[in-house]
Homo-oligomer: A and B are copies of this chain.
Amino acid sequence: MNDVAGGLVRLSGLVQGLYTRVSQRHDLTPVQAKLLCVLLEGPRGMAELAGYFSVEKAALTGLMDRAEKRGLARRTPVPGDRRALTVTLTEEGHRAATAFYTDVHAELEALVGSLTPEGRKHFEQAMGEIIERCGGGC
C-alpha cells in the first residue's frame, strides 16, 4: 500500500500514536482524554456522550464511573427530568483537559511543521474537503 490508502493509514497511525503518547504523559487513557476534550465545550448528557462516542450507554456508565473515581468529571441531576444526568468537568478535570488539549494541539502543529506554507494550505483544504464530504459516517 504505497499510495493514498497507505498514506492515510500511516498518517492516521501517526496521529493516533501521538494522541496516545500525549494522553499517557498526562496520566490519561486516550478515551478519557477524548471525554475531557468533549466536555471542555460544555456539559453533556450520558446518552448524548454515548452517541458522540458511537458507543452503548452501558459503556459510558463505566467510563464515567472511572472518570468520577479519578475526580475528573461528575454527574449531576437535571432539573425537570429525574431520569437524566448531566456530565460536567470538575476543576481538576478542567485543568487536565486544558493542559492535554494545549499539548496535543502543539504536537499536531509540529507534525505538519515541515510543510511549506503553500503545501500546508493545500493539505488543510484537502482535509477539509474529505471531512466535509464524509461528515459523520461515510
Bound state CA distance, A2 and B127, in angstroms?
11
When distances are taken between beta carbons in the complex, the residues of chain B under 8 Å from A112 are: 4, 8, 126, 130
Task: Give the residues from 91 to 138 in chain A that come closer than 8 angstroms, CB to CB, to chain B.
Answer: 101, 104-105, 108-109, 111-112, 114-115, 119-120, 122-131, 133-134, 137-138
* Cβ 8 A contact of A1, one of B105, B111, B114, B130: B105
* Cβ–Cβ < 8 Å partners of A19 in chain B: 9, 12
Interchain CA distance A105-B3 in the complex, whole Å = 10
Main secondary structure of the interface of A (DSSP, over half): helix
Q: How far, in whole Å, are A47 and B14 apart by their CA atoms in the complex?
A: 22
Q: CA A11 – CA B104 in complex, angstroms? A: 15
Please state if B138 and A111 are interface contacts (CB–CB under 8 Å).
Answer: yes
Chain A interface size range: 35 or more
Can you report 22 A-B residue pairs in the complex whose CB atoms are below 8 A from each other? A1-B101, A4-B109, A4-B120, A7-B124, A7-B128, A7-B131, A8-B108, A9-B15, A9-B19, A10-B131, A11-B15, A11-B127, A14-B138, A17-B54, A111-B134, A112-B130, A114-B130, A115-B126, A119-B125, A119-B126, A120-B126, A123-B123
Chain A residues near B (Cβ < 8 Å)? 1, 3-5, 7-12, 14-19, 54, 101, 104-105, 108-109, 111-112, 114-115, 119-120, 122-131, 133-134, 137-138
